[in-house]
Amino acid sequence: MTTLSQTKEIFRRADAVCFDVDSTVIREEGIDELAKFCGVGDAVTEMTRKAMGGSVTFQKALMDRLSIIRCSREQVNKLITDHPPQLTTGIKELVDNLHQRNVNVFLISGGFRCIVEHVASQLSIPLHHVYANRLKFYFNGEYAGFDESQPTAESGGKGRVINMLKEQYGFKDVVMIGDGATDLEACPPASAFIGFGGNVVRPQVKERCSWYVSSFGELLKELEKI
């Protein structure tokens, strides 16, 4: 694991910064919001907690939760319209600052592409920089499952995406920022990991990373040292 000073140095010179989305870039967990909207909130929230704690495989947790939610395309669209994802304070300023420095910014999420794309557009992140799970619907709009071939649909998927980005773009220094176990395990191949506790603190993540922040202002401050 990199030390605190090494992590800060890698962040300052990074070619690419990858953000988790749920409870990091946005305040809520998208799947929990979708479950609440579909009337099965409590059952799904408990399963999300277990998934984030790393006690069940990510794909199994995703499959189990979606089999309870069974959302239609119409419900997903209505959720985004009626309850758009709430950006975490400071994320827009941080992403703008990184873009001004010609740092590539990516969103890598175990959440759903339809929601994450909405977030990306608010942050001026190009949609080809979004990696997330795809929901599948029948022609009548009813839930038909999810695309299990996406790397983000399984444990270790975020690391696989980062490996792919390094190969595709030739990035040397890639930083992963997130709140959960799936973010932490993406380093390596990420050069450094920064734990984020501004929305929810996960003790098993906080204990295992050298740089843990509770606001994006701390990261902005670090960039100002350049």
Would residue 20 show up in a list of annotated catalytic residues for this protein?
A: yes
CA atoms of 115 and 76, how far apart (whole Å): 8
Paired residues of 26 in beta bridges: 22, 87
Q: How many residues does the chain have?
A: 226
Q: Which of 20, 173, 179, 183 is catalytic?
A: 20
The catalytically annotated residue of 22, 32, 179, 183 is 22
Own/partner long-range contacts of 192-197 (Cβ < 8 Å, ≥24 apart): 192/2, 192/6, 192/7, 192/10, 192/11, 192/14, 193/7, 194/7, 194/11, 194/219, 196/20, 196/24
* Active site annotation includes 82: no
Q: How far apart are CA 69 and CA 44, in angstroms?
A: 8
Sign of CA dihedral 15, 18, 24, 27: positive
The residues annotated as belonging to the active site are 20, 22
